[in-house]
Structure 1
Amino acid sequence: MAARRSPLRWRTAMAAAAAGGLLAAVPAARAADSTAELAIGGLVFTTPPDVALREETLFISPTDVRARYVVLNKSQKPITALVVFPLPDLDARAETFASAVIPVEDDANFIGFSARVDGRPVTAQLEQTAFGLGLERTATLRDAGIPLNPALHATWTALKALGPEARDGLRVAGLIDLEEAFPGDNRPDQLEPKARWLLKTTFFWQQLFPAGRETVVEHAYKPSVGISAGSPLADGAKAAELARYQQRFCVDDAFVKAAAALKKKLGPDAWLMEKRIDYTLLPGGGWGGPSGAFTAVIDKGNPDALVSFCAEEVKKLSPTQLEARQLSAPAGGILSILILDQPDGPANTAVPADEPPSASAQERLPRR
């Protein structure tokens, strides 16, 4: 097994079709066979040298993500430091925006984030900023009565209710485009506003670390789970396609054979459901001394599911859980987890309205 690399510090970017998950609101019809995951990570601690990370435990499943940090203040005086949790950016101009899964229908806390310190709930502050054409336009949207979250159905409804003058103002500010409600009709009276802004959201708080003692900081949220009806891994993926899965999820020949065998077992008309979870890993820390013990538990939800991700020092804990002592992020600092399930399995993630239900499948230990 390879020696552990420098400690990985967890941060955010966004992802999860957890119970009640929604697709980003769009007026036009959307493809029902695939949704896009958002990458999310963990807390960012801005700590001085006297504060050390003694232990970090991470849990990831299709329905929730939890992290626990044991932090020691080694000094003889209390230290206050900023703790930050950046949510994934919501960019309404992005190609994948219309299919992005938003776990919670909420303008601010759209992944259901919560935090506790020594068992007590934290009241975090919120900062949200909207940008149009690279310029900060938060007040412009608020003055127009538009929710800042461009992915909500409520935002789409509010945009549709705008009068011509208000629409023009938002269009000039780079916040919306006017597009045909029914493409191909060429009817100016049927133009509808579409969100085109970028939203940045961050939770943060000042945390007191008492002198000479440990503090336990925990947080949880709903992941953004990308879902596809069918997987090329079970259908004889071409070399280039297989290479992408190998690079992103570290799948190997055994995993591909298991996927094909599962599909064959289910019958000639069967198909497998892909679930994808992205977790952002950031190097660093700024901790006082080397980081302590790290453990990640990946729960695939259904005992029969197949799962693959890039990790080392992996062992099986239960029919659904794998434990890793070291994770790696081969693609731009993002750990990607692939779960293959058969449709209508017993332990599925609830998916957005209009989408086919999730499913079940078979397993193997991931490896580098």
Structure 2
Amino acid sequence: MIRQVGLGAAISLVLFASALANDTMAELKAGGLVFVRTSDVIMSQEELFLSMDEVRVDYVFTNKSDKNVETVVAFPMPDVEGSMGLNLALDDRESDNFLGFTVTQDGQAIKPTLDQHVLVAGVDRTDELRAAKVPLLPYSEKTYAALAALPDATKKDWISKGLFLEDIIDAGKGPQADYTPLWTLRSTYWWKTTFPAGKTVRVSHRYKPSVGGTVEISFVQDGKPNQYYKEYAARYCMDDAFLKTGIKLRNDQERTNVIYSERWLSYILKTGANWSNGAIGKFKLAVDKGRPENYVSFCGDGVKKTGPTTFVMEKTDFWPDKDLDLLFLVRETPGQDPQPKP
């Protein structure tokens, strides 16, 4: 169910994650590649595929000048922020490459450099963590163990700097210290590349998106829209038909024992406007909702259904001035816990 209007404005994922129930996982918003701005290289074509299982982006670049252009290409990973009570949708909490990012150029695999920084209140504390041999991922089990092993003087210093919190808990084995990292990890993969004079270059990358969600349909209650509906409608461009579908699925749940839950996928599209003229020559967006019995709503113009689970939008000279947010209503398998898992 898609309302065919202009790309909608994004609303902070934290707003939804904190406003809804405790059975909620917050998504992390990732996007495409970022290029050092150049007046010589244009994006001739971009094909973007979005699903709950995979993000695929295929670019065609053209160097319209008579000289080679060497530039830096980067993929900013979404910031990972340590905090209390915020559940993030991360499949791999132990790997720096927690989205499984891969990239190729003209069919050849590229091994990018990973640049990481730990920030607290805008202050870079990366060197301190590295010197103490504390892993940078705030949700890693290895990080928790390393914090617990720090000398008392270091713990006191880091707590005063806002790097982590210390709580005393009793889980049946007597009072024990529990540590919550509070820093933000900013990670970027980058590499240098050359766009040959007067030629095209194809760049493709893949990753598994961070898909948040909650165990029930949250924008309706007692057969009508609730306090969250306006925020949902603006973010996902929900039309009346999608609203009626949500109400029916929620009302039928007890009678049919068929459970639908929400999934949220966000994609940063605005970074695409970072080349000579800012417009993509040919742009194609494909969205796959996973299964025919699922539903999806997102903001787009001229979206067409192309298959049982797929929707496509195609544009010429497309200027990406807004990000994308997708809402999936997913039918759960009987006996399966519908709650999103980290």
Hey, what's the Cα distance between the residues in 2 that align with 1:202 and 1:350? 30
Equivalent residues of 1:14, 1:88 under 8 A apart: no
CA contact (8 A) 1:14 1:89 kept: no
Distance 1:234 1:4 in 2: 24
Q: Distance in 2 between matches of 1:46 and 1:349?
A: 42
User: Aligned partners of 2:340, 2:149: CA distance in 1, in Å?
Assistant: 28
Q: Does 1:175 align with 2:167?
A: no
How far, CA to CA, are the matches of 1:178 and 1:130 in structure 2?
Answer: 19
Give ranges in structure 1 of 5+ residues lacking alignment: 6-12, 16-30, 354-368
Name the amino acid aligned to 1:240. Answer: Q
- Provide the identity percentage: 31
Once residues 335 and 244 of structure 1 are traced to their aligned partners in structure 2, the CA distance between those partners, rounded to angstroms, is 15
Deviation of 1:165 after TM superposition, in Å, equals 3.0
Secondary structure of the residue aligned to 1:218 is strand
The corresponding residue for 1:38 is 28
Deviation at 1:267, TM superposition (A): 4.0
Contact 2:25 2:341 survives alignment (8 Å):
no
Q: How far apart, in 2, do the equivalents of 1:257 and 1:221 lie? A: 33
1:92 corresponds, among 57, 64, 82, to: 82
2:191 equivalent in structure 1: 205
CA shift digits 1:135-154 (9 cap, x unpaired): 21111111222110102222
- Structure 2 counterpart of 1:306: 295
Assess if the C-alpha contact under 8 Å between 2:270 and 2:320 holds in 1: no
2:279 is aligned with 1:293: no
CA contact (8 A) 2:212 2:340 kept: no
Could you tell me which of 134, 143, 148 is aligned with 1:146? 134
**1:39/1:3 Cα in 2 relative to 1: closer, same or farther (>3 Å)?**
closer
SS in 1 for 2:24: coil
Distance in structure 2 (CA, Å) of the matches to 1:346 and 1:324: 36
- Please report how far the alpha carbon of residue 334 of structure 1 lies from its aligned counterpart in structure 2 after TM superposition: 3.3
**Equivalent residue number for residue 215 of structure 2:** 229
- How has the CA–CA distance of structure 1 residues 211 and 91 changed in structure 2, closer, same or farther, with 3 Å as cutoff? same
Following TM superposition, where does structure 1 have runs of at least 4 consecutive aligned residues deviating by more than 6 angstroms? 1-5, 327-330, 345-350
Quick one: distance in 1 between partners of 2:320 and 2:96? Answer: 28
Q: Which residue of 1 aligns with 2:111?
A: 123
Tell me the residue number matched to 1:53: 43
Cα 1:220–1:349 change in 2 (3 A) is: farther
CA contact (8 A) 2:220 2:229 kept: no
Q: Would the aligned equivalents of 2:232 and 2:238 in 1 still touch at CA under 8 Å?
A: yes
Residue 249 of structure 1, CA deviation: 0.6
Partner of 2:270: 282
Q: Which of 312, 315, 332 does residue 304 from structure 2 map onto?
A: 315
1:208 is displaced (CA, Å) by 0.6
Q: Which residue pairs with 2:243 in the alignment?
A: 256
- Residue 357 of structure 1 corresponds to which residue in structure 2? none
Q: How far off is 1:2 after superposition?
A: 9.0
CA deviation after TM superposition for structure 1 residue 351, in Å: 4.7
Amino acid across the alignment from 1:230: E
C-alpha contact 2:52 2:211 (8 A) present in aligned 1: yes
Tell me, what secondary structure is at the counterpart of 2:227?
Answer: helix
**3-state SS of paired residue (1:310):** strand
Contact 2:168/2:178 (CA < 8 Å) preserved in 1?
Answer: yes
Q: Does 1:67 align with 2:53?
A: no
Q: Which string of whole-angstrom CA distances, capped at 9 and with x for unpartnered residues, describes residues 126-171 of structure 1?
A: 1101123432111111122211010222212322333423322322
**1:263-298 C-alpha deviation (Å, 9 max, x unpaired):** 455543543210000111216323257420000111
Matched letter for residue 241 of structure 1: Y
Q: How far, CA to CA, are the matches of 1:55 and 1:134 in structure 2?
A: 37
* 1:206 shift after superposition: 0.9
User: Would the alpha carbon gap of residues 173 and 265 (structure 1) be closer, same or farther in structure 2, given more than 3 Å must change?
Assistant: closer
Code of the aligned partner of 1:34: T
Asked whether the equivalents of residues 285 and 312 of structure 2 are also in contact (C-alpha less than 8 Å), the reply is yes
Query: Which residue does the alignment assign to 1:111?
Result: 99
